[in-house]
Amino acid sequence: MLRLDKWLSGANVGSRSQVKEYLKKGLVKVNGEVVREPEYKIEEGKDRVSFREKEIIYKKYVYYMLNKPKGVVSATRDPIDETVLDLLKDTGYGNLFPVGRLDKDTEGLLIMTNDGDFAHHLLSPKKHVDKVYYVEMAGPMAEEDRKALEAGVDIGEKKPTLPAKVERISDTSIYLTITEGRYHQVKRMLKAVGNEVVYLKRIAMGGLVLDESLPGGGYRELTEEEMRKMRV
């Protein structure tokens, strides 16, 4: 059961405040009857909702690309910090969660969805989904360190990291592609070769590339083409 105003904004009929106006004006019908109460409860898959006499098809699952800014935590609730879900509250979907995590001080691509199977698929360690990070470091990277990162390094766990790809951008910046998602992995990998991450941004994941036109904190739905790429 979902509130009617949430249901309507979730179905992209309008923002929560626009939807309230539409309800007041009697533009919304549930099972053929005008309903004006925003808190009216909708039974998904059963009740038929129309707006201006046109039936609305509700999307059960939604997929957003978020450009996570610094200072926001990859959680759905937090007693102190702003969360990534707070950034997407205007979507009307209160049941979104991030696909994986980025540290509070990490920026960039985070997929937000309410589709648990999709998230599970992308995060499964067996799937080895590529994640590409733009990394700025405190010191220059020696060739032997680059090779060590590519081969796999000891980050204090049972197993070294899996082979990675390092592409140099400048003396102190690289693109690093990894296929795992261990805790603080990039920072620990750089530490393992005596360096330090000073800026970290995820720019791609599983074939999905961050839309650079999104400002920090900006988000948009994934296109069908992007969805197709990610299902490969």
Using CB under 6 A, list all residues that contact ligand URA.
102-103, 106, 184-187, 200
CB of 59 to ligand URA, least distance (A): 29
CB of 161 to ligand URA, least distance (A): 11
Rounded Cα distance between 144 and 166, Å, is: 12
Identity of the residue, 30 or 189, whose beta carbon is nearer to ligand URA in the bound complex: 189
CB of 106 to ligand URA, least distance (A): 3
CB of 149 to ligand URA, least distance (A): 13
**Which listed residue (103, 115, 130, 211) is catalytic?**
103
Identity of the residue, 6 or 202, whose beta carbon is nearer to ligand URA in the bound complex: 202
What is the pairing mode between strands 107-113 and 197-205?
parallel
Q: Would residue 12 be called left, alpha or beta, if left means φ above 0 and alpha means ψ between -120 and 50 degrees?
A: left
Identity of the residue, 5 or 145, whose beta carbon is nearer to ligand URA in the bound complex: 145
Closest CA to 11 of 64, 53, 60: 60
Whether residue 90 lies in the annotated active site = no
Identity of the residue, 62 or 164, whose beta carbon is nearer to ligand URA in the bound complex: 164
Which residues have a catalytic role annotated?
103
